[in-house]
Amino acid sequence: MPEKILCHRCSFVLYKGDEPVSPEEIVKRYGNRCPRCLAKLSTSPVRIEIELKRSEKRLRL
């Protein structure tokens, strides 16, 4: 399942991928600051969203 981690202030994509990563790893990777707006990053989530996507099925005739 794809995972996406965004900055809470400017919505900069800090991580996007199929493999889950820990928030601590992302915060450490960027030195505790968002590279775009320099907001302090936290390991506790501000908001969590889960989206379900329907798989498209094609009929073969």
Residue 60 has pLDDT above 80, yes or no: no
Structure tokens at 37: 């707006």
pLDDT digit string (tens) for 32-50? Answer: 999 999 999 998 888 888 7
3-12, 31-40, 49-58: lowest mean pLDDT where? 49-58
How far does CA 41 lie from the centroid of its chain?
13
Residue, of 1 and 52, whose pLDDT is higher: 52
User: Measured on CA atoms in the order 40, 43, 18, 11, is the torsion positive or negative?
Assistant: negative
pTM above the 0.95 mark? Answer: no
For the chain, give the mean pLDDT.
Answer: 87
